[in-house]
Chain A
Amino acid sequence: MCIKVILSHCLKFRKSVVLEMQDPKSGVKSQPQRLVITAIPHAVTGEDIVNWLSERLLVDTEEARSVGSMLAALGYIYPLQQHKRLVIRADASLYRFQTPYFWPTQQWPVEDTDYAIYLAKRNIRKKGILELHEQEQYNHLHKWMNHKWDFIVMQAKEQYRAAKERKKPDRVVFECQERAYWVVHRPPPGTVSAMDFGLERRADPNANQVQGEETGKLAHSSFLIPLSRNFSRCSLFSVVSLVKYSSTYQSHDPFLSRPLPSNPWHTDDATYWTLNSHNVETPTKQRVERWTFSFAELLSDPRGRDDFRLFLKKEFSGENLAFWESCEDLKWGTAATMKEKAEQIYKTFLARGAPRWINIDGKTMEITIKSLKHPHRYVLDAAQTHIYMLMKKDSYGRYLKSPVFKETQKKAIAPEEHNDSQLEQNARTRRPSLSPIVLRQLEAERRAKMAAAAPVDITQVMSKLSRKPQ
């Protein structure tokens, strides 16, 4: 986030809050600060700041303190004691509002030259007593700005002399303000700086858009597209469906209702994950409930998909799901294998007399076969959509009423809630889980084993037997 951005938006609000705080009538109560014999006005206590913010922004104390600390971190308020820690403490410690001259809104570039002048001035005043990090900075600047050093020292002396001519209270205040300004912009080591902006963004959103020809035409064409679409006038309907979705899933949201047996992060017990793993034999009741929410939910859960596949096998329409899965594989596969896969799918599912021929309407079939002449990633999109809708509108409904599903529902387990007594012991026995790489390997091995142990084709055995010499 670049400095120009931070300084335009939240800035206006921050500035107005800080100005409000300083209002003599409705702002934070101020009191004079006693410094030996002089009294310096307009000091406020941390507690008052926090209370004022709490009332004005309608938040609780902790948040008000956080907001106050951020204002301090940016340099709008500075502490009078412990000047290096830019946080607000909700007690009697004193703070003062920074003069607008030093506010970050002024957008002055913070120059090293100014810093060098400031350090030189402090050097003169305190006769060589600078903090360790300031001393290091001073030496560093002295080396790199050697060519300007005479100018810097001259400036420092001038400013020192001018300051001496001021009255004592003003002088003390100005010194505090300047010191606070430099704590913000040249933070001591080990502290977090709110001025840290990260990477500069390439485009400055606040610069008046000088639209070159290219960007102009691009923006122009980007408006043509939405206007040419017909959006359904279903604003109310879509908003209601969003609300409905949240309500449906609320009981499944671990942040809103306790998962059974327990949230692993609360109790350090990973049973919840083991019970809900991919290839578990009996799923939990909650999981089965989710399958009834939508067809997409059923397909996206591997255990649900397996159950559905079983159901389709019994109905002899397993090729639909197999086709859909192969299309997904084609869409998300590597570019190199694209052509091969498309041909394979055609041979298996679409060609006349194919072993797993799928039933799609004539028009879709025609379009698909035509596009297969130039196979690309989305060549089977139309056919895939057709089959998906078929499964969704037809098979899914029947699945939910089928004995396969009812069996699964009956067997589904409802785990008991864990009680919190085991917490400490659980924390000690946290076990690592298998790495996904290992899991993938195991899965591949398992599949290979299954393929190898496939039932023998009886016709081949018979023909071999018949050829054996009697």
Chain B
Amino acid sequence: MCDQTFMAATFGPCESCGKPSPLMNIYIKNEAINYCSFCVELMACQGLQSGESVASLKRECESLKKKLEEERGKLNDVELHQVADKIEVLGALAIKTRRVLKGHGNKVLCMDWCKDKRRLVSSSQDGKVIVWDGFTLSKENGISVPCTWVMACAYAPTGCAVACGGLDNKCSKAVAMHTNYVSGCTFTNSDNQILTSSGDGSCALWDVESGQLLQSFHGHTADVLSLDLAPSETGNTFVSGGCDKKANVWDMRSGQNIQSFESHVSDINCVKYYPSGDAFASASDDATCRFYDLRADREVAVYQKDSVIFGASTVDFSLSGRLLFAGYNDYTINVWDVLKGTRSSILFGHENRVSRVRVSPDGTALCSASWDHTLRIWA
């Protein structure tokens, strides 16, 4: 793990409102200012100042963007597959369906594993959330949520609670309230906090017990469709991807957008961290999956093939990070060799779109949820 993950956030009185809180460091016209996240938003939403106009802002945006690309281009341009040339090619993978979980009456939209490696929770379009023991195929619990399109569900780290959210704009009994649908939710390192992403373009961190909003993250200019928490022990960051084709990395403490990547040409449906926490992958409607290195600050691999012509809706890494499982809208799951950039294998079996794939916590199995009302466990 790189020492760069340990940036101490500065705390102190905000330079504009005076309240003590975690601060964001921003540069305006080469001057450094330290504002708290609320003041940054206020500033961003203020009306145009004299001398500015939408067109001039746009021009400045473009020039900044070009400058950023230039800076990035100066860095050593090494592609991942070049470095991975010397590594052995993977043998043929023999992955088969081991379990088929039937019981949902409608499209299964989301699923999550429990830390005990065999239980999982799944949610579907008809408002049902079911907790299964994947190993024995038994349904342990069923909850009816009074809304359709339950797009997000998550298992708590202790395994004693489940959160879900969707078209009702809420997550789990009004812990989290958004102004548009909830597209993704995950627990942080404990049962007490939930991180959510929403169609209203923002992500937010909530305290479960009190329902209090602890931190909000603004920066996406369109629906945020997915988020993932960094797997490091001192996990303070998360990545989110949205309909504005951008994947943003955020600092949970200050609400600051640390890094941003825009190389997809269409909506990003899913983002997932590499197991070491130094990189992440994204799946998009443009039928490609891309791999971004956080320290190099750029995209290092693109996973695409002529025969893959449908959007990818979900991705997950295997335990070592060598395999990337991606579920597509053409009912298949493609298994990519992350390092070499080639397609290792393709899994057939679902009869409708694959909405979610997740590798189990100890890496022994892959579960896929699909619009064909079933979940499949592959190993």
Query: How far is it, in angstroms, between the C-alpha of A240 and the C-alpha of B87 when the chains are bound?
Result: 12
Q: Which A residues are CB-close (under 8 A) to B320? A: 245-246, 248-250, 252-253, 256
Within 8 A of A (CB), among B336-374: 338-339, 346, 348, 351-352, 362-366, 371-372
Query: How far is it, in angstroms, between the C-alpha of A453 and the C-alpha of B323 when the chains are bound?
Result: 49
Q: How many residues of A contact B (CB 8 A)?
A: 113
- Whether B275 contacts A192 by the Cβ 8 Å rule is no
- Whether A63 contacts B307 by the Cβ 8 Å rule is yes
Stretch at the interface among A97-105, A107-115, A269-277: A269-277
Shortest B300–chain A CB gap in Å is 6
- Whether B362 contacts A231 by the Cβ 8 Å rule is no
Q: For the complex, is B50 an interface residue (Cβ under 8 Å from A)? A: no
Q: Which A residues are CB-close (under 8 A) to B114? A: 436
- Whether A192 contacts B323 by the Cβ 8 Å rule is no
Q: Which A residues are CB-close (under 8 A) to B40? A: 221
Write 14 A-B pairs (CB below 8 A) sorted by A numbering: A1-B311, A58-B307, A63-B332, A63-B346, A66-B348, A198-B371, A202-B199, A205-B243, A215-B221, A227-B27, A233-B74, A234-B296, A255-B93, A296-B232
Q: Which A residues are CB-close (under 8 A) to B143? A: none
Q: Which of A220, A239, A332, A388 counts the most B-chain CB atoms under 10 A from its CB?
A: A239
A220-257 CB mask vs B (1 if < 8 Å, else 0) is: 11111111110111111111111101111110111110
Within 8 A of A (CB), among B66-81: 67-68, 71, 74-78, 80
Shortest A90–chain B CB gap in Å is 14
- Whether A213 contacts B26 by the Cβ 8 Å rule is no
Which of A220, A255, A440 is within 8 Å of B160, CB to CB? A440
Which of A201, A255, A299 is within 8 Å of B243, CB to CB? A201
> Main SS of the interface on chain A?
helix
Chain A residue with minimal CB distance to B30?
A228
Beyond the given pairs A66-B330, A67-B307, A253-B322, 4 more chain A to chain B contacts, judged by CB atoms under 8 angstroms and listed by A's residue number, are: A221-B44, A223-B61, A224-B26, A255-B363
Q: For the complex, is A334 an interface residue (Cβ under 8 Å from B)? A: yes
Shortest B241–chain A CB gap in Å is 13
Known A59-B307, A242-B274, A335-B207; contact A235-B76, beta-carbon cutoff 8 A: yes
Known A233-B76, A254-B319, A256-B90; contact A265-B234, beta-carbon cutoff 8 A: no
Chain A residue with minimal CB distance to B80?
A239
- Whether B57 contacts A273 by the Cβ 8 Å rule is no
Q: Which B residues are CB-close (under 8 A) to A336? A: 209-210
Within 8 A of A (CB), among B234-285: 234, 243-245, 253, 256-260, 265-267, 269, 274-276, 278-279, 285
Q: Which B residues are CB-close (under 8 A) to A442? A: none
Chain B residue with minimal CB distance to A382?
B8
- Whether B339 contacts A246 by the Cβ 8 Å rule is yes
- Whether A239 contacts B296 by the Cβ 8 Å rule is yes
Query: How far is it, in angstroms, between the C-alpha of A10 and the C-alpha of B93 when the chains are bound?
Result: 28
Chain A residue with minimal CB distance to B77?
A235
- Whether A276 contacts B362 by the Cβ 8 Å rule is yes
- Whether B87 contacts A202 by the Cβ 8 Å rule is no
Which of A196, A246, A436, A440 is within 8 Å of B119, CB to CB? A436
Stretch at the interface among A151-159, A178-186, A402-410, A425-433: A425-433
Q: Which A residues are CB-close (under 8 A) to B267? A: 1, 5, 201, 205
Q: Which A residues are CB-close (under 8 A) to B253? A: 377-378, 381
Query: How far is it, in angstroms, between the C-alpha of A265 and the C-alpha of B366 when the chains are bound?
Result: 10
Q: Which A residues are CB-close (under 8 A) to B259? A: 226
Q: Which A residues are CB-close (under 8 A) to B351? A: 192
Known A215-B221, A246-B321; contact A378-B83, beta-carbon cutoff 8 A: no
Q: For the complex, is B84 an interface residue (Cβ under 8 Å from A)? A: yes
Known A1-B267, A266-B98; contact A220-B330, beta-carbon cutoff 8 A: no
Q: For the complex, is A470 an interface residue (Cβ under 8 Å from B)? A: no
- For chain B, give the interface size range: 35 or more
- Whether B119 contacts A218 by the Cβ 8 Å rule is no
Query: How far is it, in angstroms, between the C-alpha of A248 and the C-alpha of B27 when the chains are bound?
Result: 40
- Whether A265 contacts B377 by the Cβ 8 Å rule is yes
> Main SS of the interface on chain B?
loop
- Whether B310 contacts A70 by the Cβ 8 Å rule is yes
Q: For the complex, is B64 an interface residue (Cβ under 8 Å from A)? A: yes
Chain B residue with minimal CB distance to A335?
B207
Mark B residues whose CB is within 8 Å of A. 1-2, 4, 6, 8-9, 11, 20-22, 24-28, 32, 40, 43-48, 54, 57-58, 60-61, 64-65, 67-68, 71, 74-78, 80, 83-84, 87, 90, 93, 95, 98-99, 107, 114-119, 133, 135-136, 138, 140, 149, 151, 158-160, 167, 180-181, 188-190, 192-193, 199-201, 207-210, 212, 214, 218-219, 221-223, 225, 232-234, 243-245, 253, 256-260, 265-267, 269, 274-276, 278-279, 285-287, 293-298, 300, 305-307, 309-311, 313, 318-323, 329-332, 338-339, 346, 348, 351-352, 362-366, 371-372, 377, 379
Q: For the complex, is A264 an interface residue (Cβ under 8 Å from B)? A: yes
- Whether B287 contacts A10 by the Cβ 8 Å rule is yes
Chain A residue with minimal CB distance to B266?
A9
- Whether B47 contacts A10 by the Cβ 8 Å rule is no
Q: For the complex, is A371 an interface residue (Cβ under 8 Å from B)? A: yes
Known A223-B65, A378-B253; contact A5-B285, beta-carbon cutoff 8 A: yes
Q: For the complex, is A133 an interface residue (Cβ under 8 Å from B)? A: no
Q: Which A residues are CB-close (under 8 A) to B371? A: 192, 196, 198
Q: Which B residues are CB-close (under 8 A) to A316? A: none
Mark A residues whose CB is within 8 Å of B. 1, 5-6, 8-10, 13-14, 17, 53, 56-59, 62-64, 66-67, 70, 192, 196, 198-199, 201-203, 205, 209, 211-229, 231-243, 245-250, 252-256, 259, 263-266, 270, 272-273, 276, 294, 296, 299-300, 328, 331-336, 371, 374, 376-379, 381-382, 384-385, 388-389, 430-433, 435-437, 439-440
Chain B residue with minimal CB distance to A436?
B159
Which of A63, A273, A331, A378 is within 8 Å of B22, CB to CB? A378
- Whether A241 contacts B199 by the Cβ 8 Å rule is no
Q: Which of A70, A196, A201 counts the most B-chain CB atoms under 10 A from its CB?
A: A201
- Whether B293 contacts A238 by the Cβ 8 Å rule is yes
Q: Which B residues are CB-close (under 8 A) to A250? A: 320, 322
Q: Which of A192, A225, A259, A300 counts the most B-chain CB atoms under 10 A from its CB?
A: A225
Query: How far is it, in angstroms, between the C-alpha of A447 and the C-alpha of B300 when the chains are bound?
Result: 48
- Whether A10 contacts B189 by the Cβ 8 Å rule is no
Query: How far is it, in angstroms, between the C-alpha of A352 and the C-alpha of B354 when the chains are bound?
Result: 58
Nearest first, the 5 closest Cβ-Cβ pairs linking A and B are A436-B159, A203-B222, A249-B320, A265-B379, A332-B190
Known A14-B309, A192-B351, A224-B27; contact A218-B219, beta-carbon cutoff 8 A: yes
Known A225-B257, A239-B78; contact A253-B208, beta-carbon cutoff 8 A: no
- Whether B339 contacts A243 by the Cβ 8 Å rule is yes
Which of A10, A219, A266, A389 is within 8 Å of B6, CB to CB? A389
- Whether A222 contacts B1 by the Cβ 8 Å rule is no
- Whether B296 contacts A335 by the Cβ 8 Å rule is no
Q: Which A residues are CB-close (under 8 A) to B307? A: 53, 57-59, 63-64, 67
Known A227-B71, A270-B135; contact A332-B379, beta-carbon cutoff 8 A: no
Chain A residue with minimal CB distance to B295?
A238
